[in-house]
Chains A and B, each alone.
Chain A
Amino acid sequence: MSFAGLVFILIKIVVVFALLMLTVAYLTLLERKVLAHMQVRVGPMFAGPHGILQPIADGIKLFFKEDIVTKQADKFFYFLSPALSIVPVLLIFAVIPFGDKSDIFGLLKEPIDLRITGLRIDILFIFAMSGLATYGVVFGGWSQNNKYALIGGLREAAQLISYEVAFTLSVFGVVLIAGSLQLDKIVAMQKDMWFIVYQPVGFLIFLTAAVAELKRTPFDLPEAESELVAGFHADYSSMKFAMFFMAEYASIVACSCLGTILFLGGWLGPSFLPPFVWYMIKVFILIFVIIWLRGTYPRLRYDQLMKFGWKFLIPLSFVNIFVTAIVILLVR
């Protein structure tokens, strides 16, 4: 690879990273605001007009907080876990496209891909990384030598294993239709019709399993505040805590992007708005739905969670794949 190519990729990485961190920061504000209005409150109001500077204030606060390392902690994994949880999530953004080839309003001579890089196995790469992301929570929970955190980590492991299957299977309905594992090709296939029309059940399974993978209410058992005092990150503070937090919100963004690309036609839309705007609108609709779920649903009990995953979601996703495959076979 040439030097210029390397610099070019680096620029892309920096841009994506900056945008992502900005989104993540304001996602916290969005969540607080949405929840507040659902509960007929106003949410943060003081830092800037309508609390617009609140994320920055939070960031500064977290940065200067005391970094606590408890005596009984297993130091190696205690330090490693926050990184283990955020790195895979960031890596997912290496393959997520944000738009078609574009010359960015005529700024560039040649159109470029609006993504850092593409693989031939985009989707599998994403699953691989989401599998790796588990370990941050699991080892993080274990390393604190604290029973609440340990239970949080264990719950996370069990939950991830259970819902990863349904999550993966739900996506493979789309892969069957598209016949490709490449995200940009999948979006291109949706020119005439979004895949949510062909895969409504797949989309619902995807959304449910994604919420479970993200440890969001109603599936937030690994960090259930009321019983586990914040679960796997009970002892963490300062930037280590912030890294767990960022990982969580970044994976919300990643899941929403993936859902948009796979089911909602990605950046495709009527031409009165530029593709990137369509893309952002769809992503934020999904993010809003995920926050909305938090505002409306109570937490499941643990056995309900397992039963729902294994006895309902996984069989349903198998049926979905089976039906999809048969229909494809008959149509072609």
Chain B
Amino acid sequence: MANIDLLTITPDIILIVFAFALLLAGAFSKVERQANFNMLAMLGFGLAFLVNLFLFGAKKYGYYNMFFFDEVAGLFRFVFYGIGILVALISEPYICGKIKHKGEYYALILISVAGMSFLATAYDLIMLVLGLEAMSLSIYILAGMFKHDEKSVEASMKYFLLGAFSTAILMLGIAFVYGALGTTNFGEVVTAYQKNLGGHKPELLIAGVVLVLAGVLFKIAAVPFHMWTPDVYEGAPSSVTAFMISGVKAASFVMLIRVFVLGLKVVVFDLVTTVMVISAVTMTLGNVCALVQKNVKRMLAYSSIAHAGYILVGFVALNKTSLAAIVFYLIAYALMNIGAFAVLVLFDDRGNYLESLSGSGFKYPFLGLMMTIFMFSMVGLPPTGGFMGKFYIFKGALEAGYVWLVIIAVLNSAVSAYFYLRVLVYMFFEDFKGAVAPSVNSTPTTVALVLTSIGVLYLGIFPQAFFELTQRCMTYLP
């Protein structure tokens, strides 16, 4: 059963081919003539998206069971490719003139998305690590792309060192799991568990699983592995931060779901209590720290920690509704974050501080409106995707009986309204000081803003059809 199935990984091959093409084009063309590189990258993402549309719905094992393409993987591929398109859209006006390696910039985004896609289709711990590394390594580099900006270099270095540590921990965990089970393949875990271990869970296995969980939680940025988040998200170029905050978050959660719900499902119920505590602490800490931030990027970084906490509630509940809600939430979250960062990107980093945003809402009503939509969605106010995402997650958790966790989460959401809405207060109720102006060539970013805002509103107003789709796709639990 060789099942070398090139067709199913075609989208990723397309991405990698486009990455190579961009690398070569970047090496052999002048910087001034690289303005249309984002179009090329978008073409790559678009093609991959189409091919995935064609593949979607199939269930296929491939390459000696190294990957397993199912509806969850297909759905997440759409998410990643979509994020890729949006990030390519908002990048060009922002990095133009600041980054000389445009070919490498887009190539790394393409490869990173390919890594995420491998992560989503992985059916073996080895594939998982390699997908994770393809994604993370690219992002370490992307974070340091502003070489003349100290903060960007610091972000890159910090993320790289801590990320390398977390991967080492993950690898140690995988070694333990392999030692205990004698296999790394998800398909053989249950048989190995029953045959080799006789249905017992030795400490070695549990230790390995906990280490793997630690590695995954690092990428999710859950407490106590969250320390890198604010510095990295603040220091990295804003377009890259948008990519990280949406793409890496989604990829980490698909990793969490695939490893523990699809792969090592024999141990998942031993972890629920731990994850529950982590989830509660994570959202509280994220929100409390976000309260005092003056920098919007930093505030969004802490908010991403808080959101990670909310999404973990879905993992704790561990039923079909809650897992489907995770996917729904991640999509809504990606849209609103890319949107919010698109506004910051459009202001060319001059609007990163709350003070400097003063009055910009009435001066630039379109951007003000957009920011309002995204901030409402972040808080979780109807009629936005953020509201429906939270609603479904909490619904799932209530079905599973985690009332206290939901109460903590709702209280946290209430607290979070303060710092999200403060952005709007500054934008609309302060006098304009002339600190910000949108950058000149802003068409692609505007397109991205329109797309994301429509997405957020659509998910908020007509969530039913889409949520049913995610529920139908989430086949891991009965």
Establish whether A and B are touching in the complex (CB under 8 Å). no
- Residues of B near any A CB (own CB < 8 A): none
